[in-house]
Structure formats: C-alpha cells, structure tokens
A and B are shown apart, each in its own frame.
Chain A
Amino acid sequence: MSLLEVKNLRTYFQTDDGLVKAVDGISFELQRGETLGIVGESGSGKSVTNLSIIRLIQEPPGRIVSGEVIFKGQDILLLPPEAVRKIRGRRIAMIFQDPMTSLNPFMKISKQLMEMTELHLGHTSAQAYEHAIRMLETVGIPDARPRANSYPHEFSGGMRQRVMIAMALSCEPELLIADEPTTALDVTIQAQILELIKKLKQKTGTSVILITHDLGVVAGMTDHVIVMYAGKIFEQARTRELFALPGNPYTKGLLRSVPDPTAEHGKLYQIPGLPPDVAHLKPGCPFADRCERAEEICRREFPPFVELTPDHHSLCHFASEVYAESTNAKGA
C-alpha cells in the first residue's frame, strides 16, 4: 500500500478576478521511503497541492472542491479537524521556504522544539529538552546544548533552516513536505541542507515531497517528479526518465532554458510568452499559446493525459510524438 495517495484533488479560490482553479484534478502516489519532487513556476499550484494535503487551505477564499488524500488508508479530507491536527506535525511534517516566518521570534529554540514532542509524544519537559538537544545535534548545530537557549534571530538563515528540519523531524514523521526549503539560502548552504535532508531520509526512512522551482535540486534529490503548470500535472515520471526522455513540450522547454555550465554560451532557449492567468483559462491546452509545436487542436480541446510507459504520463495531444523525438535524440 502506498503511504500517500492523492486522487483527483481540486482546490479552488474565489477571488475578485473570478474563480481560480489553483489545483485542478491532481492524482499521484507516494511510496514509503521515496522522494517525490514537484516542480513548477509561480502560480502553477505546487504549494497549494501540498497545503491541501495537510488541510491548511484558508477557507474562504479557498476550498477543496473534490478529491481524496489517502494517508495510510485514511482519507485526510474526511477527518474531523482535531484528528487532522494529530497527524500534522506528528505523522506529516512540513518545512517552508522562510524559516524566520515559521519560527516564533519570542520563544527560545529549545522551547519550540520541546512543544512538538510534549504535544505529540507526551514527553515530560526533561525528556523533551534532551530530545530537543539530540535533534539539534542531528541536524548539525554546533554546540547544540548552549545554543538551544538562543532565540531565532541569533541564528543565521542556514542554521534556522536546520532548526526547522530538527523540529519537523522530532516526532519521526512518516512524510516530510519541504516547500522550497533552500530557495532563500546561499548555494553553499543549500548544498549543506540538501545533504542533510538526504542523510536523515536514509536514516529514518521518511518519505519526502520536495517542492521546488530548481530543476537541479530535483535532479539530485528525487526518485519521481511531477511537473505542474496552471493547476494541472503536465508530466509525471521517474526522475531519470523525465530528464532523459521528456514527453511534454513544457518540460522540454524548461529543461532547455536552464543554462548549462558546461556548454559554450550562445543564445539560451526561451519559452516565449507568459504563464496564463489561471482565473481566465481558455478551453484548450493552457500551454498552447507558448508551445512551439501547438496545432489547432491544442487551442480547441483540452489535452489527454497520455500513458507513455506505466510510470510515465504526459498531458499533451502530441505526447507520444514528443516522447518519440526525445527517444530518437537520445539514440542518435
């Protein structure tokens, strides 16, 4: 049985501009011990997908319109709020982009960590304190014992993100959702944090959902990838397969628009135009206006979600052709 199964999830927002279908019919599975990457540009729905999974969508203006989020056999969307709170933090933990806004600036680091295990594991304060120190050591905070009594502002950005990870992992969750965990960090610190997440994952067997806009991070960290665009899954595959043999013109364009440090510099491939306004989507494929191989049918009809291999799907009228081109290019 999968650890997590998301079926046909739809989360809509009522805005002044009209109904925004931020997430519109997303389905995926996550096995134990695996890492799933969700990539997409701003507004693609990647963060809303994950906020929906843990029921943190603010209602109104948002609403989970339909779908199932089955975690260990139980549909989280049907649980009473109290039961969801018990899962959140205990079984499913989260880390966000900006550790400063996720930590309480008025509370000592140790206290914030202790709250987690006191609440979820019933630790006494002495147990919780020792556990907090152990967690800070695990995530590589030097001099963890004296520094546990610091306040968040006394830590650097990288150290704060380590504290967030310590907090997220302190109850040994089965699923860790990391939403752009290194986007605010410098590249040498990013490398440290990603290495830490990898190591802790190996040790604890936690499954991870990693949300990022950085294809490099996805390449190094994940087993499976989902590419989102305008609230839809555009492509879904094992990571190596997706990078080697993309079956969707959007994925292909994204991969080509990242500068390759080993290549000579010349004109960089660019996807033309702008991401669509999700409040006013036209009937056809939402990428059609920017797609170099779009044909008339793309503007008229919404594309099918084509199975390229049992593990690889692409939302495109020409998915098989695009996939064949990738395969041929690889063979050549």
Chain B
Amino acid sequence: MQKARETLVAIRDLKVHFNLGHNRVVKAVDGVTLDILEGETLGLVGESGCGKSTLGRAVLRLTEPTGGQVFYRNNDLARLSGRQLREQRRHLQIIFQDPYASLNPRMTVGQIVGEPLETFRLARGREAEQRVQELLETVGLSKRFIKRYPHEFSGGQRQRIGIARALAVDPDFIVADEPISALDVSIQAQIMNLLEKLRREKNLTYLFISHDLRAIRHVSDRVAVMYLGKLVEIADAKTIYVEPLMPYTKALISAVPVPDPEIEATRQRIMLEGDVPSPINPPSGCPFHTRCPYAIDVCKEVVPQLVEIKPAHYAACIRISPALPHIEDVPPGAAPGLD
C-alpha cells in the first residue's frame, strides 16, 4: 500500500496565457492546481494542444507563468531571483521529446553530460570526467562514447544521453516531456524501464507527460488528464483505466487500440464527434461540452471545478457528484454536481 507521502511540488492556480495580439489570447494553461508527491510518477496525459507541455515547462519556469504559484519544497519558485532560481533548478530537471533537437550537435557526449557539472560548479577536471563516465554507465551507455558526437547515435541512445545530462546534477524532480514518443516500440520499453530503475535507485519524482495512454498507465502511480488548458480528472493510474468518471477520459481510453484482435473485434468505442476546439477561442462553460455525448445546456455556461468524487479521485463535471459518481446513473438533464 501507498504510505502518506510529502508534497514535493505544489502547483497552485497556475496560468500560462500567450498573447497573440488583436485581443487573441491562448490560455495554454488555465488555472491548474496539483500536488506532486515525493517519489511518485505523476502521469500527465492529453491530446495535442491541451497545454500539457506548457504546464511542464511552466513548473520549471522555462516558460514564465502568467499567474499562480509553484512551490518546490515550500519555496515559491516564482518569487525567486535569478540567482536563487538557478540554485533551486539544480534539483529540477527536464528530459525532452526530440532526442535529435535537444542535444548540441557540436558538443561531444562528454561535454553535453558534463556541462551541468560545470554550470553548478559540482565537479571539474578529472573528477568531472569520472562523474560523466559513471553517468553514462548509469543510463546504459558505454563510457567509451565520451568523445563521440550526437549524430553517431540512434534515437534511443540520444534519449539516454539526455537522461544522463538531467541526472548530472543529482536532481529530485524530473519533468519528462514525451520522452518516448519519438522512439521505436522496442526502444520505448527500454527507456521506460530505465526511467523506472532510476526512480527507484535515486528516489526521483517524475512528472511524466505523454499523449500515449498505454505508456502513461504503465509508468504512472497517479494520472492527471488535461483538456484545453485545464485538468479534468485525477486518480491513481489503475482507477483511471478501470473506472474513469469524466466522459472525456472515458472516450480517450476507449479510443486506445488494444494489441489483441479478439478484444478489438468486439470492442465498443465511444466515438467523439469533431476535433479538439482551438485553444484561442475555447468553448464557454465546460471546455468539453462541444464533443461530450452527455452535455446538457447548463454545461455551456458553468465552468466545472475539480471535485473529489470518490476518495482520491477528482473529476471536473457538473453532471456527476459524490452521491452519483457514474454519469450513466444520472437522470437525463440532471446536474447533481451543481447541488
């Protein structure tokens, strides 16, 4: 069983709005509140444009938030000065999606992995070199690679180099932004296992961002589902799959193809109509109402809040409530969440 864990990163009403000019604003992240517990992997899942990567970057202040707070061990990162922020950033690292674009092609592997050691003045010279060799071995690369350049490596190997770089400063918390999306199936499994092994050995905490629900289910302890800048459901990973409460999460999970022809032959899918609306002019009220098979008129007006519908299971839908958690049981037209 899970023991009570400390909150490592607390996100409070975080907003990232991009001003496009002409009174057009993209609310990429719009009021997200979330606790990431020490030692857990929190999976953040959503479709393209939902704001999940922006949220990950804003947590580390790689993208400046428009509003709200991010606390790391009770320090408000938004209030830190440049120098203090740099100091804290040592504990907070990121792994990027594209292993081809995130490594400087003119630097050797040794320089790439060693750079953070110098930046944070953690080691130099012989000691730094030794540390880089250890890091390469930790991520499953030969220390002979130290003088080679990124183009000499495959996608999976480059991702390992990116992971070694993130680990160089001995962080507590890593935002893994679609770390396996660009990789082949057989290599995805390797990287997921590596991240899991490192978490156990180094007591890391991950915010694992992905659009791949199968991967999210596999690596996460808890899962947060995002839609058009807002979190719409949070629960532990198994519950999200077995018993999703939000109509959007239900559709998302039913859309994932299962690698089993017998199951696929008889499976009933919830087909969503239409596309994800543009984040420039998101729908009023519940952002999902335009595609939701259960939407009623009130959904166009009321912005639903995340409510603890079942113990440790939060959902943002006015058509359900703790007393009536399953939307199928709710009388037509009723919105028990408003009572």
Contacts and interface: CB of A to CB of B under 8 A. Distances in A.
A158 B149 CA distance: 38
A79 interface: no
Top 6 nearest A-B pairs (CB, nearest first) are A216-B257, A259-B218, A220-B264, A257-B189, A191-B255, A41-B184
Contact of B269 (A189, A191, A271): A191
Interface in B177-219: 184-190, 192-193, 196, 211, 213-215, 217-219
Contacts of B34: none
Contacts of B190: 270-272
Interface string B2-33: 00000000000000000000000000000000
Interface stretch (B55-63, B85-93, B104-112, B270-278): B270-278
Contact of B218 (A191, A216, A268): A268
A239 interface: yes
A191 B256 CA distance: 8
Contacts of A261: 213-214, 217-218, 241, 253, 256, 258
B172 to A, nearest CB: 22
A215 interface: yes
A168 to B, nearest CB: 21
Interface string B154-195: 101100000000000000000000000000111111101100
B48 interface: yes
A213 interface: yes
Nearest to B242: A262
A275 B185 CA distance: 11
Interface string A265-277: 1011111101100
Contact of A268 (B47, B189, B238, B272): B189
Interface in A25-57: 41-42
Contacts of A186: 47-48, 211, 276
A42 B184 contact: yes
B47 A188 contact: yes
A306 interface: no
13 contacts: A41-B186, A42-B184, A158-B275, A215-B185, A216-B264, A219-B263, A220-B264, A243-B259, A257-B189, A269-B189, A270-B186, A270-B189, A274-B187
A255 interface: yes
Interface string A246-267: 0000000111011111101101
B272 A192 contact: yes
A8 interface: no
Contacts of B269: 191, 195
Interface in B246-287: 251-265, 267, 269, 271-272, 274-276
Nearest to A255: B259
B186 A253 contact: yes
B215 A156 contact: no
B269 to A, nearest CB: 6
Nearest to A239: B261
Nearest to A39: B185
Nearest to A158: B275
